């Protein structure tokens, strides 16, 4: 209070301005209460409304923009999460399909061993030699598992796929029948003696050579091992004849053989003991 009186006493012009301002304010309040300012207020409102509406709309737009940005961030997070889930599901489907195929092959190998009473060393294919080299598969069993060189290797249902070419401690290299250096004595199902030699090196097909001209063969005849070699038992399936080549005056006829399995898709094998051991 003392400070206020000192301020008014020292600054008389300021005192008059304060008093005048207070009177004006009181008059405006009274005029507003009596309704005398309504025309002025309506005019001022008319002038101010567009400006007020503009800033109001700007505020709403900014709020909407902020909410849109937040919603977009949430959508991006959800999209990333869904993408990760989708990738995991795809991988799970691939793993399930591979497991199904592997179980299917193993069941067919088991059917072969139980139906023929043959024993062998089950192995999985690790890979194959690079393109351009010998057509070899690499198996995950070797000397430590009892694998020996020259042993026949079969896939599901006893289909011969190749012969063990080389053996390491824990791996074995298998020369496929489709390799150019592969040769196996073969015959047709139901025939007692050897008929010819199946060799590779002809792309996806095999070739049955040295078939005497007087031997009667037909397309779709089943080709099996003849048992002429000491290491390979008789009766392992090789494929079937799909075409016959017979030339007049030639001592032998030939046949193109379709393999009973696709060698490139073999995953699980059974390495049979060599009969020569």
Say if domain 121-271 classifies as CATH 2.40.10.350.
yes
pLDDT of 104-143, one tens digit each?
565 655 666 655 556 788 888 898 886 555 678 999 999 9
Nearest to 169 by CA among 203, 146, 193, 136: 146
pLDDT for 76 equals 76
Radius of gyration, alpha carbons of the chain: 47
Q: Are 197 and 208 in contact (CB under 8 A)?
A: yes
Cα–Cα distance, 157 to 104 (Å, whole number): 11
Prediction pTM value: 0.60
Interacting residues of 240 by C-beta distance below 8 A, sequence separation 6+: 220, 221, 222, 223, 257, 258, 260
Per-residue pLDDT reduced to its tens digit, 223-248: 989 888 888 888 898 999 999 988 88
Tokens linked to 202:
């002809």
Q: Does pLDDT of 277 surpass 50? A: no
Higher pLDDT, 204 or 271: 271
17-21, 32-36, 114-118 — which is least confidently predicted? 114-118
| DSSP H stretches of helix in the chain | 2-10, 12-34, 38-116
Q: Where are the domains of the chain?
A: 121-271
Handedness of CA 259, 261, 264, 269 (dihedral sign): negative
């Amino acid at each position: 209070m003392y400070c206020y009186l000192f301020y008014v006493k020292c600054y008389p012009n300021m005192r008059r301005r304060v008093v005048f301002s207070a009177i004006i304010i009181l008059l405006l309040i009274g005029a507003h209460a009596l309704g005398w300012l309504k025309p002025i207020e309506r005019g001022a409102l008319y002038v101010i409304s567009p400006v007020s509406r503009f800033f109001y709309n700007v505020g709403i737009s900014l709020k909407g923009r902020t909410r849109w940005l937040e919603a977009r961030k949430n959508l991006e997070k959800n999209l990333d999460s869904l993408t990760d889930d989708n990738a995991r599901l795809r991988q799970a489907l691939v793993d399930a399909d591979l497991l199904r195929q592997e179980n299917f092959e193993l069941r067919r190998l088991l059917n072969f061993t139980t139906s023929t009473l043959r024993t062998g060393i089950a192995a999985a294919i690790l890979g194959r030699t690079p393109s351009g080299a010998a057509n070899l598969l690499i198996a995950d069993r070797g000397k430590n598992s009892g694998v020996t060189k020259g042993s026949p290797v079969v896939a599901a249902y006893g289909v011969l796929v190749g012969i063990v070419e080389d053996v390491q401690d824990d791996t074995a290299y298998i020369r496929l029948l489709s390799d150019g250096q592969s040769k196996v004595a073969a015959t047709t199902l139901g025939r007692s003696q050897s008929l010819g030699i199946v060799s590779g090196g002809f792309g996806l097909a095999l070739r049955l050579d040295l078939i005497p001209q007087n031997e009667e063969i037909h397309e779709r005849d089943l080709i099996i091992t003849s048992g002429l070699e000491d290491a390979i038992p008789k009766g392992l399936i090789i494929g079937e004849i799909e075409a016959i080549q017979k030339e007049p005056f030639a001592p032998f006829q030939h046949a193109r053989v379709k393999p009973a399995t696709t060698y490139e898709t073999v995953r699980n094998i059974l390495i049979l003991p060599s009969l020569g051991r």
